[in-house]
Chain A
């Protein structure tokens, strides 16, 4: 019996120790956000709302806020148009080649916004290599048309269309097929069914998708930075960036207020959409799951051609333009078979210390973030699924926050938190570790949700069977839970890696010399006129991303439902 009580002690102590991981998780994920809130009410120099009112009444703040609302709003409308058109056609009709189409529509979401902006700039304007090669470039001296509010709106709209698409398609799949069949039995044609049955029923998901697109567009830094800053058109994220880069940490209290302002606008947007959803909620009763396939009839081929042409225009053309710019010897030289060279690629990948360092930093940060998050998320997800208590449920509900809030908000929050580590003289600001902390907070939910999904589908009897044959908690987690959740964990890790490698918004404010990330370097290269190198670097990242997405796609059958974001 002594062996029994000894083992007994072992497994129980792990049972008691495991909940302790909730503490660092809560601190890393939610600590910075709380710290930012405190800063807004004057934490540190006595509680005051003075600088709150000063900054909010400044002209520059008001202009940036108006620009932010205009570009994010306009981009959202465009996203909803594109996303909804694709979602309705893909989810409801008998179109062919849906899988490939969806995959291509997802690529803009996965490509970093500053690369999107760079690519589009290579497609338009007087110095476009592609246009010059084709001989249709506008005359020199004419303005780059994308350096404007319209340009920002178009690119934001394209970048976030897939968010609307995914939400709406998931909603459309919930509509019971018999509702549509009932409408058809009542004599309604395909268009009538769509307009009078499907459209009203899918309104909630369209609104939810629009809200997501709005919040994401509001926090987007890459596109307004590349297109707006040259045109002196500032939005809130670029205003924060310019202040902080120009003046240093002394303006922290000021930019904290601006960050809170974006956060507030984002939350108001979400609440507004919730309010609209409340008034439009339908209880859907019936069998869902049967995919609808309304026949397009003779319109099928033209519709397919139109959609693919659109994909070609928003995805292939800009990437071609980017590729064209990346293989010329110097900016301004036209692209011919003789002038084409891989010099910029070689420079970027092997020669230039800055780009090599950026590759190293980004890969290091992305890998480390993925590994750490995987290691924490597995036991955490298990804890939330099998041993739920009030604390774990609270963290579960709030952990979306650092991901949902605009990236600049999180960056400012992280600077405030880690500038002076509590109880020490140490600072993480200016080191690579502050970027890592921000990544951990931001991408937690990207890692956690897939693992949660797979654990929720795991029969508890699997673990009970292991317990009954003598495996204590540690062994059960290692031998049973880990291997069965591994495919989802791998998918989650790749997603974290993808998102982190892409990332600019957070690191734009947190980098310093030596800790540049890929996103930062692309922006800096373009900013200093090294467009060819920027293009080569951007193109190499696009290739990396498409390969990684392809890897996830190839393993799609092994993941439970809901793990891969572009396959709901």
Chain B
């Protein structure tokens, strides 16, 4: 197992940057998810790590070895990195056992050891009874397990997964998530998992790198992303809730700041004393008839066990959970407790612009 380091990594396609100065370090044995909308550069980062593309600038290190950058390029076949493709990329002319044993054949591992290691990998992925099947005779979930077994069998320094659940139905996704978790616990492999589905990323990863337009916006543990988003994009992309601009009141304490939000003065958690926005998760909102902030119900969706309300308060859309149905158009009182306040980098420039034009 090895750590992965990206320093100032940049990749352009036809002059357009797909990755723009990526800096990140992934610890040995860590499970990291790359999360972002399509076109954010997460797959490009994965392909650069695997060695299928060459970076324009910057350096990639695997376990201390420079594999790309600084005049060096190590081709994918000698990087010792496993990859699970979205399409699984099983070789259709080889059986399940043939697919899994190929990495060992390439390494000229003696036959007896090969057979033992293939059997072990198939056991671990629950494919013991399918060894002689051809890929075309397997279901989507089984193919995914073969792809996983093929990559774990040669004990790579890191495992890359490219949207591995995108082609599976919902029920199978949940069970495959368990397989990935188990796989990670058992092998302790460094894993880099690309997805656009935040629930997968939050459920599986030790840390999540949220990407947008070729940059990492925030790289943190899932609960940190949810409770303490770094900017408006992360706050809006990860988890449910609202992002609302806030005005400073000038009062602050260590770790807390009093802000004017939707016309109310509210104490917010914050790591800066000059935030520009607050992230209001549904859990931070309680509905109470005597609350001073009034909001109109604009939609009400049943989620099973509770209702999700979208509320219009002072022209902002808030999201709240309620134990019973609310009528659309009804007015309710809203109390906001303990939201997270942050300073959005874009807001800074907006403010600067406003000042120069004033």
- Please give the residue numbers on chain A whose beta carbons come within 8 Å of chain B beta carbons, in ascending order: 1, 4, 7-8, 11-12, 459, 461-462, 464-472, 475, 479-480, 483-484
**How many angstroms between the C-alpha atoms of A363 and B102 in the bound complex?**
38
**How many angstroms between the C-alpha atoms of A103 and B89 in the bound complex?**
36
Is A459 touching B76 in the complex (CB atoms < 8 A)?
A: no
**Which residue of B has the minimal Cβ distance to A3?**
B78
Is B65 touching A461 in the complex (CB atoms < 8 A)?
A: no
**Which residue of B has the minimal Cβ distance to A6?**
B78
CB contacts (< 8 Å) of B80 on chain A: these are 470
CB contacts (< 8 Å) of B50 on chain A: these are 464, 468
Is B85 touching A465 in the complex (CB atoms < 8 A)?
A: yes
**Which residue of A has the minimal Cβ distance to B153?**
A469
A181 to nearest B CB, angstroms? 33
Give residues 66-96 of B contacting A (CB, 8 Å): 74-83, 85, 87, 89-93
CB contacts (< 8 Å) of A1 on chain B: these are 65
**How many angstroms between the C-alpha atoms of A186 and B38 in the bound complex?**
44
Q: Given contacts A459-B87, A459-B89, A483-B93, are A468 and B82 in contact (CB under 8 A)? A: yes
Give residues 32-90 of B contacting A (CB, 8 Å): 50-52, 65, 74-83, 85, 87, 89-90
**Any chain A CB within 8 A of the CB of B303?**
no
Q: Given contacts A11-B75, A11-B77, A464-B76, are A471 and B106 in contact (CB under 8 A)? A: yes
Interface centre among A466, A470, A479, by most chain B C-beta atoms within 10 angstroms, is A470
**Which residue of B has the minimal Cβ distance to A472?**
B77
A484 contact from B93, B103, B106, B160, Cβ within 8 A: B93
Is B76 touching A467 in the complex (CB atoms < 8 A)?
A: yes
CB contacts (< 8 Å) of A461 on chain B: these are 85, 87, 89
A122 to nearest B CB, angstroms? 48
A4 contact from B51, B74, B91, B160, Cβ within 8 A: B74
Is A475 touching B78 in the complex (CB atoms < 8 A)?
A: no
**Any chain A CB within 8 A of the CB of B281?**
no
**How many angstroms between the C-alpha atoms of A465 and B52 in the bound complex?**
10
CB contacts (< 8 Å) of A459 on chain B: these are 87, 89
B134 to nearest A CB, angstroms? 13
Is B106 touching A480 in the complex (CB atoms < 8 A)?
A: no
**How many angstroms between the C-alpha atoms of A462 and B88 in the bound complex?**
9
**How many angstroms between the C-alpha atoms of A449 and B102 in the bound complex?**
30
Is B93 touching A468 in the complex (CB atoms < 8 A)?
A: no
Which 4 residue pairs across A and B have the least CB separation, nearest first?
A469-B103, A461-B89, A465-B89, A467-B76
Is B91 touching A480 in the complex (CB atoms < 8 A)?
A: yes
Is B78 touching A468 in the complex (CB atoms < 8 A)?
A: no
Interface centre among A1, A467, A472, A484, by most chain B C-beta atoms within 10 angstroms, is A467
CB contacts (< 8 Å) of B160 on chain A: these are 468
**Which residue of A has the minimal Cβ distance to B86?**
A461
Q: Given contacts A480-B91, A484-B93, are A467 and B77 in contact (CB under 8 A)? A: yes
B103 contact from A4, A470, A480, A483, Cβ within 8 A: A470
**How many angstroms between the C-alpha atoms of A178 and B61 in the bound complex?**
56
A346 to nearest B CB, angstroms? 45
**How many angstroms between the C-alpha atoms of A459 and B135 in the bound complex?**
15
Give residues 134-168 of B contacting A (CB, 8 Å): 147, 150-151, 154, 160
**Any chain A CB within 8 A of the CB of B107?**
yes
**Which residue of B has the minimal Cβ distance to A483?**
B93
Is A468 touching B76 in the complex (CB atoms < 8 A)?
A: yes
A489 to nearest B CB, angstroms? 13
A466 contact from B75, B82, B93, B102, Cβ within 8 A: B102
Is A469 touching B82 in the complex (CB atoms < 8 A)?
A: yes
Is B75 touching A12 in the complex (CB atoms < 8 A)?
A: yes
Is A469 touching B102 in the complex (CB atoms < 8 A)?
A: yes
CB contacts (< 8 Å) of B65 on chain A: these are 1, 4
Q: Given contacts A4-B78, A7-B78, are A464 and B91 in contact (CB under 8 A)? A: no
B339 to nearest A CB, angstroms? 44
**How many angstroms between the C-alpha atoms of A7 and B79 in the bound complex?**
11
CB contacts (< 8 Å) of B81 on chain A: these are 468
B103 to nearest A CB, angstroms? 4
CB contacts (< 8 Å) of A12 on chain B: these are 75
**Which residue of A has the minimal Cβ distance to B99?**
A465
Is A464 touching B85 in the complex (CB atoms < 8 A)?
A: yes
